[in-house]
Amino acid sequence: MQTRILVNLLNMKKLRTLWHKTDSETGIQVIDQRQLPHQFITEDLHTVAEVFYAIREMVVRGAPLIGATAAYGVYFACLEAEKASNPDVYFAECIQKLRDSRPTAVNLFWAIDRQLRAIEAGGTWAEKAQLARQSADLIVEEDVEICRKIGEQGLPIIEKIYQDKKGERVNILTHCNAGMLGCIEWGTATSPIYQAHQKGIPVHVWVDETRPRNQGASLTAWELSQAGIPHTVIVDNAGGHLMQHGFVDMAIVGTDRTTRQGDVANKIGTYLKALAAKDNDVPFYVALPSTTIDWTIRDGLKEIPIEERTEAEVKFIPGWSVEHEKMLNVRLTPPDSPAANYGFDVTPARLVTALITERGICEANEEGMLSLFPEEKK
Ligand code: MRU
């Protein structure tokens, strides 16, 4: 079920990307991110099929939010299994369906596995459902706190640039949407930016439009304008030019999966920004919650599955028709030209200046990462 609501700008600070419809109802509500920035429409999710659709079709997106939504998918799977003729088989099928929704963001698999551990203590499906709901709520609250801490850890980097520039504004380039819309609150890459803005540091964000789904132009720009943070949307190809001319002080992006040696998968085009940053001595930071680290793999190029999506996302573009006052989808390419749509690319660790996590900042290599997460030593 869809609900259209007007965004109360004064309530933006309290806005989250996922919430319970009411305490007594089982369903959750999310923002349909495909409609932003043109319309603020919420979507009710009550079933595994609805969660699968929401993740696959990018009603919700961004690694931490995909994980949190899937966590409620496991809760719905328990509720549905209770009524199924063969609960164990039905539940296993639901879990596989959730795992198949999107391949790259490791938070999806992390959240499902954590939920499976959480429900082990339940004797009945009703008990398992209750445990799954509690655990999903905890994942949500933890994500808020983790993202807030990422902001705290990253803030000194912006403060230092501000001091070095003797009070001039700090220009930060970001790619895709690694903001609150990709998480629950704060965001990852945007969290240090929000916290710098709150401290009165003049920041300005170069927002890559991020073809083909335009998460930068639609989502990051929307978030930043709601927060009153100066920003400029640029076409994806502009970043190198801006860096060559000294218009970018730092780049900061999010990630969908980071390996134990610090290779980073993020939205397609991130690698090219990292290359340009290296060539121009622009520091290139990646902000991530520990839930996005895949400790089981090393070589990102060989081991991270890269999502390939429908060619329609490249050949058509949705937008707001001012004339018709509604969303329209228009074709960009000749109808018979094939298109390829790789969702992510891998930025090798050598191009990453540092990783910003909730536990601190480290070099993008195994030693650096283990200095913050010693429990992951083998
Ligand atoms: O395809 P998307 O929109 O889910 O991709 C999102 C990204 O690549 C984000 O940068 C990443 O998930 C970090 S979100 C905090």
Average pLDDT, the chain: 96
Average pLDDT over residues 195-214: 98
Tell me which of 106, 194, 256, 258 to substitute to probe ligand 1's pocket, judged by most ligand atoms within 8 Å of the beta carbon: 256
Is any atom of ligand 1 closer than 6 Å to the C-beta of 182?
Answer: yes
Q: Which residues contact 37 (CB under 8 A, 6 or more apart)?
A: 218, 219, 221, 222, 225
pLDDT digits (tens, 9 = 90+) for 145-158: 999 999 999 999 99
The atom of ligand 1 lying closest to the CA of 183 is 15
Q: Which residues contact 140 (CB under 8 A, 6 or more apart)?
A: 16, 18, 68, 71, 184
Average pLDDT over residues 175-179: 98
Is residue 62 within 8 Å of 143, Cβ to Cβ? no
Task: Band the pLDDT of 9: cuts 50, 70, 90.
Answer: very low
Position 181 pLDDT exceeds 50: yes
What pLDDT shows up at residue 1? 54
CA of 89 to the centre of ligand 1 (A): 32
Average pLDDT over residues 303-320: 98
Is residue 30 within 8 Å of 60, Cβ to Cβ? yes
Residue with the smallest CA separation from ligand 1 atom 8 is 267
Residue with the smallest CA separation from ligand 1 atom 6 is 62
Is residue 55 within 8 Å of 45, Cβ to Cβ? no
What pLDDT shows up at residue 22? 87
Residue with the smallest CA separation from ligand 1 atom 5 is 62
pLDDT digits (tens, 9 = 90+) for 237-293: 999 999 999 999 999 999 999 999 999 999 999 999 999 999 999 999 999 999 999
CA of 180 to the centre of ligand 1 (A): 11
pTM over cut 0.85: yes
pLDDT digits (tens, 9 = 90+) for 88-134: 999 999 999 999 999 999 999 999 999 999 999 999 999 999 999 99
Is residue 257 within 8 Å of 338, Cβ to Cβ? no
- Residue 31: strand, helix, or coil: strand
Answer yes or no: 143 catalytic: no
**Domains in the chain, please, with CATH?**
2-142 (1.20.120.420), 154-376 (3.40.50.10470)
